[in-house]
Structure 1
Amino acid sequence: MSNYILPTEVEYLRLRTREFIRSVVLPAEPGPGERLMPENRKRLQRAAKEAGVFAPHVPKTFGGQGLAIQYWSAIFQEAGYSPIGPSVLNCMAPDEGNMHMLNLVASDDQKQRYLRPLAEGVARSCFAMTEPHPGAGSDPAALLTAARKVDGGWTIDGHKRFTSGADGATFCIVMASTGATEDSPAGATMFLVDMDNPGVLLGEHIHTIDRAIEGGHPHVYFKKCFVRDDSVLGEPGLGFKYAQVRLGPARLTHCMRWLGLARRALDIALDRAERRELFGSPLKDLGMAQEMIAQSVIDIETSDAIITKTGFLLATEPKAGSAMSSVAKVHCSEAIFRVIDRSIQICGGDGVSDGLPLASYINEVRPFRIYDGANETHKWAISRRASARRRAAVASGEPFLADVDQVKDPWPASGLEIQPHGHSEAAGAY
């Protein structure tokens, strides 16, 4: 990973994290098809705090390591080398994204009530935006869950699904459409809702192929759910703006964590290629295996580079960084899948068995092409932005290059008569 750009203290944290993951977390990983039990998670989180690697993205005032976002990747990749590493270090979705947004948007009282226990690992959270069709999914403008202003607060009614982490969460950040009031425009508003609120009903689980997110992806119902005015996160009507504060970095941190797992998968495949012999040669010396290994290295390095660029943009130009996070999400989700898929192929029958963890890895990363916005939706947005940039460039004076007859001949006959030995009369002008 791009540790050559890391400040000394960040590189030191990366090395501590690497040592902790490999010496403490890997031996504690659950077996194939099993989940990390809550008591083991708490034990490992205590060890992470003692090792000084807990909550790398959280400000030090709330018990974290205080890293700036442009340096998260090196640490998150080390955490992601184990499927349970991000949970142990308390930088797993959806809590990590919620912590980031709460730190930027929440009031001081909300930070003490919601961010602090979340950052300390004594609470979990969820983020409720996705809805059953025809509600909000890849298109957030289709939001159907609604909040109505009443005396002293708001009532929320709606049905959410794929509410990752909801089972066992202590609170939920709910996105709801809100009409215009005296103090706010119509739009969407985010609310902090305790999960023990009598207006909240945890629904059926959606059984998916991934297992790493504690609390699953259940339905959640809000029925005349009353919340006080101080439950509004930020300002009413600005929910979509705050969503971008959360979703851009959250897409990128998924890339970081899963890229760590891709590195683990390639290491497993490399070990296999080193020891396995076929047709009288080590597997590592066979051209087909070398091609798969090389392509995987290329996928990992290009993913690492785009993550690094996007992280720095999010730190310095958040709007540009949010746009670039779509590019990173699409590239990394597809590249990481390819790395793990090739690793399985290199390992043959063992790759699809419980003897190696690779099959469970591919189950974890496959949904990433859908979660946080389907790749097709991101590609649509990427294309639209590219077209808009080009239109703006042409409008500002850059030449329009699409039509051949509008492109000037760079070698006009009047001034560039070709001479022997490749020289021209105009050569002195260059």
Structure 2
Amino acid sequence: MDFAFDARTEELRSRLLAFMDEHVYPAEEVAEEQRAGLASPWDTPRVVEDLKAEARRQGLWNLFLPDAEYGAGLTNLQYAPLAEITGRSPHLAPTALNCAAPDTGNMEVLSQFGSDAHRKQWLEPLLAGEIRSAFAMTEPDVASSDATNIETRITRDGADYVVNGRKWYISGAMNPDCAVFIVMGKTDPDGQDIRRQQSMILVPRDTPGLEVRRAMRVYGYEDHSHGGHAEVVFTDVRVPAANLIGEEGGGFAIAQARLGPGRIHHCMRLIGMAERAIELMCRRAVARTAFGKPLAQQGVVQNWIADARVTVEQLRLLVLKTA
């Protein structure tokens, strides 16, 4: 089995590693200082816009999107090691490259399944990094990992659809730049084929009846860097029928197309986080002395580092094979 990356991936890796060293890592402390002075914890530090401008200038932009018309035209296997590098600075790098969730998946949906009007109104500003978005699938009262359980209703009423339901852990919803939600719900709740009951529809944030009720925590933490996770309630939210993505009953298939690639992206970013942690662990082990010798010379510390290295190598190979 050939474990090497192809020439284009290696070239992009080299450029991205240099971008991280020259721009992203130095911006981490700046971003933290700026966050402390923001009016809202959900606002974006100014330095992020500087990073985005530099990434665009260097052609390190929309790398995630396999559609060459809109993105870099990379396969998942080519993009995976780039996602790993961005994971080394998860609060800055993905956003700097316009490769942050949930916008990545939403852009994939719009590029693959959206109408020309959808692409003009929503995809183009997302591709340009001018707005952010949210994806509303998960619900509190059902096991939403099985999307056939979803209870939100999308009901046809003349020239419109009316959305009613409650969603939570909706990524990106707290971001003040979040301009649109892709909402998954049932247009045919009694349909015989449970995988044809669901549809997806675009709901602009300022639509009456859409309420971003509160920010939610995951294991005690709020994710301020990507727009948080929120409880969102839709009460008689009325949007034009043209806002439907694809056809009625196509929502389940669209969800599978959207979520599959994103799992690879997330896993590789986590591997990047783990790699940086191992790096810091090794530096600490060499620099810190205890009981008369560096930690690096303590057998148990060497074992911990070795165990971490083996685990990360296994996981990387598994994710790349999946990609």
TM class by shorter-chain length? Answer: 0.7 to 0.9
Whichever of the two has the greater Rg, that structure is: 1
Match for residue 202 of structure 1? Answer: 212
Provide the C-alpha distance between the structure 1 equivalents of 2:296 and 2:248, rounded to a whole number of angstroms. 59
Report if aligned partners of 2:216, 2:222 keep a CA contact under 8 Å in 1.
no
2:297 to 282, 285, 308: 285
Provide the C-alpha distance between the structure 2 equivalents of 1:17 and 1:215, rounded to a whole number of angstroms. 24
Provide the C-alpha distance between the structure 2 equivalents of 1:144 and 1:136, rounded to a whole number of angstroms. 10
1:124 to 132, 141, 163: 132
Provide the C-alpha distance between the structure 2 equivalents of 1:282 and 1:197, rounded to a whole number of angstroms. 61
Alignment of 1:189-268 (within 5 A): 189-208=199-218, 209-211=221-223, 213-268=225-280
Alpha-carbon deviation of 1:236?
Answer: 0.9
Provide the C-alpha distance between the structure 2 equivalents of 1:27 and 1:301, rounded to a whole number of angstroms. 28
Higher relative contact order (CA 8 A, sep 6+): 2
Q: Is 2:287 the partner of 1:275? A: yes
Q: Is 2:93 the partner of 1:92? A: no
Report if aligned partners of 1:3, 1:11 keep a CA contact under 8 Å in 2.
no
Q: Is 2:198 the partner of 1:188? A: yes
SS in 1 for 2:214: coil
Match for residue 19 of structure 1? Answer: 18
Q: Percent identity?
A: 34
Report if aligned partners of 2:223, 2:229 keep a CA contact under 8 Å in 1.
no
Match for residue 155 of structure 2? Answer: 148
Alpha-carbon deviation of 1:4?
Answer: 5.2
Alpha-carbon deviation of 1:257?
Answer: 1.0
Match for residue 320 of structure 2? Answer: 308
Alpha-carbon deviation of 1:214?
Answer: 2.2
Alpha-carbon deviation of 1:211?
Answer: 2.3
Match for residue 75 of structure 2? Answer: 68
Aligned residues between the structures? 307
Alpha-carbon deviation of 1:180?
Answer: 7.1
Alpha-carbon deviation of 1:293?
Answer: 0.6
Alpha-carbon deviation of 1:103?
Answer: 2.0
Label 1:136 to 1:181 Cα distance change in 2 as closer, same or farther (>3 A): closer
Larger helix proportion, structure 1 or 2? 1
For structure 1, the residue ranges without an aligned partner over 5 or more in a row are: 312-430
Provide the C-alpha distance between the structure 1 equivalents of 2:190 and 2:309, rounded to a whole number of angstroms. 54
CA deviation digits over 1:38-87, x for unaligned, max 9? 4222221001111221221134433x322122211111111111122111
SS in 2 for 1:19: helix
Match for residue 181 of structure 2? Answer: 172
Alignment of 1:298-377 (within 5 A): 298-311=310-323
Query: CA-atom RMSD, angstroms?
Result: 2.4
CA deviation digits over 1:139-191, x for unaligned, max 9? 33321110111111211111111111012211011001112799x99501010
Report if aligned partners of 1:145, 1:177 keep a CA contact under 8 Å in 2.
yes
SS in 1 for 2:237: strand
Alpha-carbon deviation of 1:299?
Answer: 1.4
SS in 1 for 2:134: strand
Provide the C-alpha distance between the structure 1 equivalents of 2:242 and 2:112, rounded to a whole number of angstroms. 16
1:139 to 146, 157, 172: 146
Q: Which residue identity does 2:32 align to in structure 1?
A: G
Alpha-carbon deviation of 1:6?
Answer: 2.0
CA deviation digits over 1:101-151, x for unaligned, max 9? 22222223322222221121111010001112x235333332111011111
TM-score (normalizing by structure 1): 0.67
Provide the C-alpha distance between the structure 2 equivalents of 1:136 and 1:127, rounded to a whole number of angstroms. 17
Q: Which residue identity does 1:129 align to in structure 2?
A: M
Provide the C-alpha distance between the structure 2 equivalents of 1:285 and 1:158, rounded to a whole number of angstroms. 58
Larger strand proportion, structure 1 or 2? 2
Q: Which residue identity does 1:264 align to in structure 2?
A: R
Q: Which residue identity does 1:178 align to in structure 2?
A: T
Provide the C-alpha distance between the structure 2 equivalents of 1:119 and 1:4, rounded to a whole number of angstroms. 32
Provide the C-alpha distance between the structure 1 equivalents of 2:163 and 2:297, rounded to a whole number of angstroms. 62
Report if aligned partners of 1:101, 1:246 keep a CA contact under 8 Å in 2.
yes
Label 1:213 to 1:141 Cα distance change in 2 as closer, same or farther (>3 A): farther
Report if aligned partners of 1:126, 1:165 keep a CA contact under 8 Å in 2.
yes
